[in-house]
Every structure is written in C-alpha cells, then in structure tokens.
Amino acid sequence: MAIIAGVDIGNSTTEVCIASINANGTTQFLASSIAKTTGIKGTTANLPGIVTALEDALKKAGLTISQLAEIRLNEATPVIGDVAMETITETIITESTMIGHNPGTPGGIGLGVGRTVAFADLPYIQPYDKVICVIGAGVDFADAAAAINSALERGVDVQGAVVRQDDAVLIANRLTRSIPIVDEVTFIEKVPLGMPAALEVAEPGQTIRTLSNPYGIATVFNLSSEETKLVVPIARALIGNRSAVVIRTPQGDVKARTIPAGFVTVVGQKGREDIDLDAGASKIMAAVERVQPVIDVKGEAGTNVGGMLERVRQVMSELTGQVLADMRIQDILAVDTFVPQKVQGGLAGEFALESAVALAAMVKTSRLPMQQIADELTSRLGVPVIIAGVEANMAILGALTTPGTAKPLAILDMGGGSTDAAIITRDNRATSIHLAGAGDMVTMLINSELSLNNWELAEDIKKYPLAKVESLYHIRTEDGTVRFYQEHLPPEVYARVVILKENGMTPIPADHPMEKIRHVRREAKKRVFVTNALRALTRVAPTSNIRHIDFVVMVGGSALDFEIADMVSDALAEYGIVCGRGNIRGCEGPRNAVATGLVLSYPGGRRENNRDAGAG
C-alpha cells in the first residue's frame, strides 16, 4: 500500500488530497484540506502554504509526513494577473460653472433662478430682483436666515442660497418662505458673482429633473441649439443628484474632452492588431479573438495600460528569475465600466461617472519555477515530489468523480485571477485553455463603480447577499424576504444596507440603495464570469462549436459563489448543455478537483466506489 498526496497550488488557495493506493490498484481517499496560498502561484513562496495544507490533511487522516510515498504537484505554469482601469472620457467644467453634489441635508425644495449675489450685498439689492445668495464661511446660520427674511420683506425675490457650511436645514427652518439651499460647497469663494444661476433641490428620495436635463438647462438660460450641445456634460454629471447649481458665465466654456487612453497591441498566431482603448471592450476582445491564440500583448508607453502590462512582466520576471524580455502576456480580458472621476472645474468636489475600460492581463512562464518548488519540497520533507500532470487534465479526472457525469466532459475552473477550461473526449483526448480574468476583476469593478476605496468591503459585497435593515427587529433581504429577530439588532446597522455574512451583518458605509449595489455586483459577475465561461468553452469545444459539449462541471472557489454558478448555467442552457457545480468524490463539492485528479493519475491506481474515510 502506498500513501499518496495530491497538491493543487491555486491562485488563492492550496488544496490537498490524501489517499492510499492498495496493492490491487484500488484507491481509498483518506482526507483533504485547504489552506491559503502563500505568495504568487507557481513560485517558491508557495512552500509554507503547501506544508500547512499537507500537515492539516495528514492530521485528519492520522498520518505523518514520513508515511507518504509520494507527493504529486499539478503542472501549472506560474500565472500572474493584474487589473487596471483606463478612463476614456473626462468631464471638464471651466470658468467655475457648476456645483453639483449630494450634501447629506440640503435645505428646501424646488427650482430657483436668479443672479448670484454675495451675502454681504444682500441688503443693497433692489426689490423684485431675482437673486441666488452666496453665503461664505464664518456666517452664522441665524444671521443668514435673518438677512434673507429681511430681504424677502423688502420685496427682493431670493430664489435660493449657496452655503459654505453645513447649515442648509438650519437656515431653511428659519425662513418665512421656502427656497432651495445647497450647502457644503468647498470652494465657495470661486463662485462667480453677478452671473445668471439656477439652483435645484429635489424632495428626499428623489433626484433633480431640470438641471440634469440639457433641455431643462436650455430652458432656464434661454440657450440656442449650439449652446445646448455644450451643456450636455453638465447635465450628464448631475444625473442622480438630489441638489445642483449651474452658473452661466459670459466666457464659460463647457466641454466633454476625450482623453487619449492609448492603445494595446495584440500579437497572435493569426496576425497583429492595434486597438485604441477608447474603441471599447467589445472591439478589444474582438481583436483578441481574431488573432488568437495570443502570443503577446503590449500597451502604449505612458498610459495606465502600458504601465500595468509592464508591471505584470516585471513582477513575474523577479519572482521566477527569468529574463524580462522572455515574459509574454498570454491573454487579456477587457470590460466596459464606469469610474467615478472628480469633475475638473467643479466647486464642491463633484464626481461624475466616466466611461472606462477595465483590463485583466496574464503572464505565463516556463515550467522551471514549478520544478524549483518540487526540488525544495523534496529537500525539506524528505519525500519524493513530482510534477504529475497538466492542471486542467487533473481537474477533469477529479471532476469525473462527480456523480452523474461521463465523458465527453468539460470543466470550468473559475478562480481568483484566471478562468480555466478543459474538455476530455470519449477516447481520452484532452484540450485546455487558460484565460485572464476572474474573481479579482469582479472585486475591482465593484470597488470602482461603487466608489468604495475598500478592497475588503468590495470582496464581501461580491461574496455575500445584501439586506436593508428596516427596523431594529427586522430586515428585508435583496430577494424581498422579510426576516425578524427576537433580539434587537446593533444600532450601527439601523437603516443601512448590510452584507449578510455567516458571523453577522456588515454595514456598507456608502449611500447607494440596495438595488444599485446588487445591480453592480451582478453585472460585474456577468461581464467577467459569464463572458469568460463562454469564451473558454468555445476555445476548447470541438470545431469551436460550444453546442458540441454535453456536460460542463464547474469547479474551483468561484463555483461556491451563491449566484455565479446559476448565471453560468443560465447562459449555457440555450446551448442544451448540462451544467452545474461539481461534487468531487460525491462529498467535496466543487473543491479539490485537481488534488483528487493528481491522486487518481498515480500509475496503477483506480477509484474505490465507496465514500472517503475521514475526508475533511
């Protein structure tokens, strides 16, 4: 009898399967384990994680390392992925012509149109003049309210107010007539005086309508058709806001400027293509498919994408000791997205959603680093360590232990940095592909589109469902279900959108409604996982026709996600494909496929029909 360990080094986790191979060739699985991968996959930094996972599995099986006859590693060439955003457009507001932000509590409701005047000049304004009062720092809210009331009594038509401090509600509550008030304007000293202005505040829960509509702005300021074209960036930047101010200056020049985002050069076996990033993700991916298989990808020097691609090469070169010139980008995934960008020329730190392209890139190196891991592990543990087989092929062997599967079979292994696919035919011919883009890219999209600036929070939003805390004793989940609690909930989650984790609720500090957060999360997963699933399966399918695949088994960490597997299954249903999460050995779920396949690939071994003894 020989005790064999299969070790799968993944981007995020390292998995181990322990089994005994009996003299008659039958295989009995004893235990399995999982540990966090230390370092970048396929480098000697993985050793501590491998040892931890091995010790854990051996402890479950009641064995020691000295009892192992052989350790089998997956033949995974090291892969490093990176992601970057390249903004395509930018809203430029010159001559200080816009204030459009969402202070927590603007005052009043409605639309006001008038000439901007300084607070100190309010007593000198003539009756019937329509004005917007600009109240700088250092003015007490009571004094401001008294001065506006005095002006209203004299017949001055005060249409609204713009305030530096957080005083809008305090001022509005003391006025004899309701007017819209926008506060928290950081650069109020830059607000031009004596200029036509429009100010709008919507009701709570609503968004502005007039100033977010270019024709609304044209109506307010009596603009020509040519001038209306110029205010489109302003209107677009104000969409979704509860409050806004637009000021027209004689020299004002408002424009949407296209920033040269650079280009990527994709070199493949079928040719070479240069694609401008501002052409969008679909054009980039179409070029990738035209020239694939990809040999290398380069970005224009001096751009985000150029820096990202070179950084990927440099990091892998340093980790593997291989020459930088030999590093090649073997795949990229481009996704259209929106990124909140600070409006250039705004007065209150305004942000607008700008078009961007997100890119994931992947470098594949030689087999050499994996051999370094095997040699080091042999030296440290005193057990023979071999590189047993190609990762995707081992995953297929493991996936075939899922009840209800048969050849021909395809697998989808969706991890943190890459999406792998492989197919095995009835006559045991295997084909595999390794593509850039997976869980890390989804996290990046969520983090950017929701303006979280918190990777860990974005990761939690990706992994868990949402709920809205509607009282201290009940929540409404994102599917509409109401859940009640006997004990009151923590005060800090009251009226917040929360993430429902196993150990409790995590409030989301952003003010986005639950529906928007859910939409961003699901769309990010579809754009990455569903796109890459179809792309990968098409590459490995016979004659590149995905309809020739009968069974698809999803394995890997992302297959455990509460909605990704359903999304991929729905996308493949129209092709008549049986698709679902794997259940490796009937007990592991989608985990441990590669590690199990490594054990099953041991010469002379075959699988027992019974369940594992002491599987972890």
Whole-number pLDDT of residue 234: 76
Are the beta carbons of 94 and 253 closer than 8 angstroms?
Answer: yes
249 and 320 in one domain? no
Q: For the segment 369-390, what is each residue's pLDDT rounded down to a tens digit?
A: 788 889 999 999 999 999 987 7
108 and 205 in one domain? yes
Quick one: average pLDDT of 129-137? 93
Whole-number pLDDT of residue 516: 93
Segment holding 318, helix H or strand E:
helix 304-320
The domain boundary, picked from 186, 220, 254, lies at: 254
User: Phi/psi of residue 366, each to 5°?
Assistant: -80, 175
C-alpha to C-alpha distance for 210 and 239, rounded to whole angstroms:
10
Q: Is residue 38 part of a domain?
A: yes
Least confident of 86-95, 298-307, 397-406: 86-95
Least confident of 296-300, 322-326, 411-415, 452-456: 322-326
Q: Is residue 564 part of a domain?
A: no
Quick one: average pLDDT of 587-607? 85
Quick one: average pLDDT of 294-313? 81
Q: Are strands 196-201 and 98-99 parallel, antiparallel or unpaired?
A: unpaired
Looking at residue 421, its amino acid is A
Whole-number pLDDT of residue 610: 39
Q: Which stretches does DSSP call E strand in 286-426?
A: 294-299, 328-342, 351-364, 385-390, 409-414, 418-424
Quick one: average pLDDT of 27-41? 91
Quick one: average pLDDT of 386-397? 85
Which of 255, 307, 305 has its CA nearest to residue 278?
305
Token pair listed for 44? 């000697």
pLDDT averaged over every residue in the chain: 85
Quick one: average pLDDT of 582-602? 92
Query: What is the domain-level CATH number for residue 97?
Result: 3.50.30.70
Whole-number pLDDT of residue 616: 42
Query: What is the domain-level CATH number for residue 331?
Result: 3.90.470.30
C-alpha to C-alpha distance for 252 and 237, rounded to whole angstroms:
17
135 and 203 in one domain? yes
Quick one: average pLDDT of 101-120? 87
224 and 181 in one domain? yes
Q: For the segment 407-425, what is each residue's pLDDT rounded down to a tens digit?
A: 888 999 887 778 889 998 8
Q: Is residue 558 part of a domain?
A: no
220 and 136 in one domain? yes
Q: Is residue 63 part of a domain?
A: yes
Q: Is residue 209 part of a domain?
A: yes
Quick one: average pLDDT of 181-186? 86
Quick one: average pLDDT of 459-483? 94
C-alpha to C-alpha distance for 286 and 110, rounded to whole angstroms:
48
Q: Is residue 554 part of a domain?
A: no
Least confident of 71-80, 214-223, 312-321, 602-611: 602-611
Quick one: average pLDDT of 582-597? 92
Selected residue with higher pLDDT from 486 and 98: 486
pTM of the model: 0.75
Whole-number pLDDT of residue 609: 42
Contacts of residue 585, defined as CB under 8 A and 6 or more positions apart, other chains included, come to 29, 398, 401, 592, 596, 611, 612, 615
Whole-number pLDDT of residue 90: 58
Whole-number pLDDT of residue 89: 58
C-alpha to C-alpha distance for 254 and 263, rounded to whole angstroms:
27
What total of structural domains would you count in the chain? 3
14 and 99 in one domain? no
250 and 101 in one domain? yes
C-alpha dist (Å) from residue 260 to 272, 276, 306: 21, 9, 13
158 and 119 in one domain? yes
Whole-number pLDDT of residue 615: 40
pLDDT band at residue 223 using 50, 70 and 90 as cut-offs: confident
Instruction: Judge whether residue 556 has pLDDT over 50.
Output: yes
Quick one: average pLDDT of 435-459? 90
Q: For the segment 534-552, what is each residue's pLDDT rounded down to a tens digit?
A: 999 999 988 888 888 888 9
pLDDT band at residue 612 using 50, 70 and 90 as cut-offs: very low
DSSP symbols for 207-243: --SSTTSHHHHHHHHT--HHHHHHTHHHHHHHTT-SE
Instruction: Judge whether residue 252 has pLDDT over 90.
Output: no
Token pair listed for 248? 């027209």
Query: Most confidently modeled of 1-5, 274-278, 609-613?
Result: 1-5
Instruction: Judge whether residue 87 has pLDDT over 80.
Output: no
pLDDT band at residue 343 using 50, 70 and 90 as cut-offs: low
Which stretches of 62-140 are DSSP H helices? none
Q: Is residue 350 part of a domain?
A: yes
C-alpha to C-alpha distance for 411 and 540, rounded to whole angstroms:
10
Are the beta carbons of 293 and 268 closer than 8 angstroms?
Answer: yes
pLDDT band at residue 96 using 50, 70 and 90 as cut-offs: very low
The residue count for the chain: 616
Within 10 Å of residue 293's Cβ, how many Cβ atoms? 12
Instruction: Judge whether residue 599 has pLDDT over 90.
Output: yes
3-state secondary structure of 326: helix
303 and 169 in one domain? no
103 and 216 in one domain? yes
148 and 247 in one domain? yes
Domain that holds residue 14: 1-76+367-401+591-616
336 and 202 in one domain? no
The domain boundary, picked from 345, 360, 375, lies at: 360
Least confident of 35-39, 63-67, 349-353, 454-458: 349-353
Burial class (CB in 10 A: 0-12, 13-18, 19+), 274: exposed
- In degrees, rounded to 5, the angle at the alpha carbon of residue 359 between the alpha carbons of residues 355 and 365 is 170
Whole-number pLDDT of residue 98: 57
Query: Helix 368-381 to helix 304-320 angle, to the nearest 10 degrees?
Result: 40
C-alpha to C-alpha distance for 62 and 283, rounded to whole angstroms:
56
Q: Is residue 556 part of a domain?
A: no
DSSP symbols for 258-306: E----EEEEEETTEEEEEEGGG-HHHHHHHHHHHPSEEEEEE-TTSHHH
Which of 124, 152, 25, 190 has its CA nearest to residue 600?
25
The domain boundary, picked from 220, 238, 254, lies at: 254
C-alpha to C-alpha distance for 462 and 450, rounded to whole angstroms:
12
Query: What is the domain-level CATH number for residue 8?
Result: 3.30.420.40
Which stretches of 438-530 are DSSP H helices? 439-449, 455-463, 514-525
Whole-number pLDDT of residue 260: 62
Whole-number pLDDT of residue 259: 53
C-alpha to C-alpha distance for 240 and 511, rounded to whole angstroms:
12
3-state secondary structure of 391: helix
Are the beta carbons of 335 and 443 closer than 8 angstroms?
Answer: no
Whole-number pLDDT of residue 426: 83
C-alpha to C-alpha distance for 558 and 414, rounded to whole angstroms:
5
Quick one: average pLDDT of 221-238? 81
453 Rama sector, left if φ>0, alpha if ψ -120 to 50, beta otherwise: left
Instruction: Judge whether residue 583 has pLDDT over 90.
Output: yes
297 forms bridges with which residues in the sheet?
A: 266
Which of 418, 444, 456 has its CA nearest to residue 80?
418
